[in-house]
Amino acid sequence: MIQHDRITRLDHVPDPAIDAADRSEVRHFSFHSGDLHSADRPGFVRLVGKQIVLPIDADPAELARPHTPERRFPEFTVAIDPNTGEPVTSTCEPDKLSNYFTDRGTPHYLTRVYFRREVLNRYTSQPSRYRIENGRLSCLGLWGISIGTNPDGLIEVYLGDLGRDLPAEERDHWLSFNVPPSGGRDEGRFDRDILGRWTDGPPDPLRRLFAAREHFSTALGTLLGQAVYKPWHPADQIAFEGLHMPTSSEQHEADTLILLLAKGVIDYLNVKALRRLPGVTDSEAQSINCLEAWVSSSGGDNDTLIRPLRVLQGPRSTGPAHLRRKDWHATLTRAGLDALRPDEQFVQVLTLTGDALSALAQHAESQHQPSQ
């Protein structure tokens, strides 16, 4: 409910006087005028009332897409017939699948279905709308589906979840990336979902990176007494928070991810604050040079604390940020990335960057703890 009370002063008293009302099932407004008996702007008009704000007349799923909801359940490949080599398909409609209580002569609800990882490109390209985190893909809190990744890098989803959790046209999108099972199952997911075991799952360099950046920002900010990162521009914050593991081995995707990572970790550093660090004598020093001077003067190991940031800066500067020249390969070689695919290069840089930020945070804490 919204309440209204608005008064406007006038140079004269309205004549004739105003006294009106507007009523309905969802609102009640009164509009009237009067005399304040003041020499300065004696007249006034006043609107007072309240209204009920009704919810949007649409199903939540409709808000996520412009299409009319449909009950359409395509058939997905769930296996390969060992006798014929032909795909075995099944509907994903939950009510037609078998479960632990009812055998309908159909595949089980929890049958694992696999997809090429490019299926996620649709979602990683719109970080303001979609999130992929903690083994779950979600859209604005309107719908979400649990996902896993098997040893072959395929995206793993339960057959029944495809029918229960995805809107109809999303199922059509997933169907186009459906592949026969290969490479085994996501063991961590199997332990959690089926066996009910506690498991940490595989390392998550993205979560570690975000946590390490926050730790670094807090620790170094405490040491300096001011923020070491500039305030986010909303568009850059959305893009950085939308960082994701690569969904392909394409150089273009790795380039985009490297640019986002470097922007969020290095470009947003407050260089004026960093120039106040102990050991920094060059008033024109740039961000990484400031950190290096501080680490050197405080007894830290630059190879551990600073080199990973230069590894991040190197591929960005000689690759996606500018024309690629012959120094691009030399940069990769120096960083030990030349033998890796583009997606593997990004994961390696991401991991090294998170480790470096975490170590820098601990180094900063060791500097200000004695004075506490």
Helix/strand/coil (H, E, C) string of 307-357? HHHHHHHHHHHHCCCCCCCCHHHHHHHHHCCCCCCHHHHHHHHHHHHHHHH
pLDDT of 16: 85
Cα 218 from Cα 65, distance rounded (Å): 39
Q: Go through the chain and tell me how many residues it has.
A: 372
Residue with tokens 């090294």, as numbered in its chain = 352
Does 16 sit behind a cis peptide bond, omega within 30 degrees of 0 on the bond before it? yes
pLDDT of 57: 63
Cα 168 from Cα 331, distance rounded (Å): 46
Cα 76 from Cα 82, distance rounded (Å): 17
pLDDT of 70: 64
For the entire predicted model, the pTM comes to 0.72
Asked if 340 and 288 count as a contact pair (C-beta separation under 8 A), the reply is no
Does 246 sit behind a cis peptide bond, omega within 30 degrees of 0 on the bond before it? no
Asked if 368 and 331 count as a contact pair (C-beta separation under 8 A), the reply is no
Where do the domains of the chain lie? 2-51, 61-193, 205-368
pLDDT of 196: 87
Q: Token pair of 156, please?
A: 């793993």
pLDDT of 6: 84
Cα 257 from Cα 127, distance rounded (Å): 13
- Cβ neighbors of 265 (< 8 A, separation 6 or more) are 209, 213, 309, 312, 353, 357
DSSP for 222-272, please give it: HHHTS-SBPPPPHHHHHHHHT----SS--HHHHHHHHHHHHIIIIITB-HH
DSSP 8-state class, residue 105? S
Q: How many CA atoms lie within 13 A of 115 on its CB side?
A: 23
pLDDT of 69: 56
| Residue 190 phi, psi (nearest 5) | -60, -45
Low-confidence ranges of the chain (pLDDT < 50): 61, 370-372
Residue with tokens 């009920």, as numbered in its chain = 52
| Residue 87 phi, psi (nearest 5) | -65, 145
pLDDT of 371: 44
